Structure 1
């Protein structure tokens, strides 16, 4: 249901996302952590994705609240998806958490926003402990791109006194991603990351 709802636009898509959230919450009444810990964590991760999509489509405080709930769901999943026991799921969920924190941070302001964006960086860096370039090059590159987006957002944040260091970090991350994004075989990713690199370079020139 979630993948279908994410493709739908307007009220229909929003309604389907709401139904997805309700369905995952209902599943958690049976898939409890005590009785089904791995399925509970998987459902928490899916709930987080649905809440994140719903929050991204919803404006104002309501949308920010939904993104906060997505963060909570991903963090709940990480209580079971530990690095020791489930390294791949742990890394994927850390990356998901980083994205949700970034979106929540860009919808917030002041010190709260700065803290959320800092936590987003921490989550993505954690993912890179497992998603290494040697073993998982595509996931590594995508997380590098996510870090570039987060660092660029930190540079634009109102409490950031000096944006240049964050912009330089963002540029390094996106250039790392472009080392993996082959323009022949990953054209969309390469074009998107190239456009991001160009925006970061322009921001640095104006910093």
Structure 2
């Protein structure tokens, strides 16, 4: 592991050596290891650094006296977030994250600050949500964790955290099965959560969160099962345009590509003149193709092979439609849903 740590490897070795010095108290040694682990975890260059951080947290817990429950809980919570960040297609790291955070939260609740508890609840919710996506957990557990975090991270005192939580709640609602009669209610709750989040942030002070919420609100509106498809798509276009005020091709190329791909799909399904949908949507098809081409180039340059393939296929399908008779209605296409959701 250490061979791939680069310069950080020297810090890890130095921290371990210092932690073995008997002249230093066990608490100080544990805190030293924890600080190095946090440094590795905050800006990891590869998965090995995250694994090294986890190893340091484990060593720190071994050293830390049992009469320091709060310090041990903080280590477990940090370890949980490190496991959450480890790139893996399996479920083992996610289950470790869930377990470590689950162990930490009761102790943090008893001895720590409300903010520490709420942060741990957010990360626990993310672990539950990812496990639910692999059919190894319940999405309702994620929703409950986010709602507990909202008791502390309210709109007035913590606008950014509140916005992120609303985003996570909305994506959790949208990830639930849409096969029962409550599907429309969950879609409405998701849209409401995105809009709640947007009331707590603004373009100037919180541009990243603002753009994320606008992009995801656009997706929720566009894919809602509603009889008001045209109205929803027009609202979605407004949301995407707001997101693109932040997500520019120069400053945030991948985010820009995601959003213009979503906007392209929306245009694909929208008549040129909403008042006369039977007149077709040739102009919107051409605009959608241009957006897809832009995003395809960015995805290809960035190594996002699957996304580049998806938008390339969309371009080909639009070319075939343009060569044939123009569409006569706003019928829905499968298209691409390239939504983004994050806590950092």
Structure 1 stretch displaced more, 27-36 or 194-203: 27-36
Larger radius of gyration between Structure 1 and Structure 2: 2
Instruction: Tell me which residue corresponds to 1:202.
Output: 268
Specify whether residues 29 and 146 from structure 1 end up closer, same or farther in structure 2 by C-alpha distance, changes over 3 A only: same
Match of 1:96 among 128, 144, 168: 168
Instruction: Tell me which residue corresponds to 1:124.
Output: 194
Match of 1:3 among 47, 67, 85: 85
Where relative contact order (Cα < 8 A, 6+ residues apart) is larger, the structure is 1
CA distance in 2, matches of 1:45, 1:67: 13
Is residue 249 of structure 2 the alignment partner of residue 183 of structure 1?
A: yes
CA distance in 2, matches of 1:167, 1:100: 22
SS at match of 2:270: helix
Question: Residues 33 and 41 of structure 1 are in contact (CA less than 8 Å); yes or no, is this contact kept in structure 2?
Answer: no
CA distance in 2, matches of 1:33, 1:178: 44
Structure 2 gap segments, 5+ residues each: 1-82, 272-329, 332-344
Instruction: Tell me which residue corresponds to 1:85.
Output: 157
CA distance in 2, matches of 1:114, 1:182: 33
Instruction: Report the alpha carbon displacement of residue 34 of structure 1 after superposing the two structures with TM.
Output: 8.4
Bigger helix share: 1
RMSD over aligned Cα atoms: 1.9
SS at match of 2:245: helix
Residue correspondence of structure 1 range 30-69 to structure 2 within 5 A: 30-32=107-109, 36-58=113-135, 66-69=138-141
Question: Residues 94 and 124 of structure 1 are in contact (CA less than 8 Å); yes or no, is this contact kept in structure 2?
Answer: yes
Specify whether residues 90 and 162 from structure 1 end up closer, same or farther in structure 2 by C-alpha distance, changes over 3 A only: closer
Instruction: Report the alpha carbon displacement of residue 35 of structure 1 after superposing the two structures with TM.
Output: 5.9
Instruction: Report the alpha carbon displacement of residue 145 of structure 1 after superposing the two structures with TM.
Output: 0.2
Structure 1 gap segments, 5+ residues each: none
Total equivalences in the alignment: 191
User: Displaced runs of 4+ in structure 1, greater than 3 A?
Assistant: 33-36
Instruction: Tell me which residue corresponds to 1:20.
Output: 97
Deviations 1:8-46 (A, max 9, x none): 11xxx2121112112211112212278642222111111
CA distance in 1, matches of 2:111, 2:152: 11
CA distance in 1, matches of 2:170, 2:105: 23
Is residue 251 of structure 2 the alignment partner of residue 171 of structure 1?
A: no
Q: TM-score, normalised by structure 1?
A: 0.84
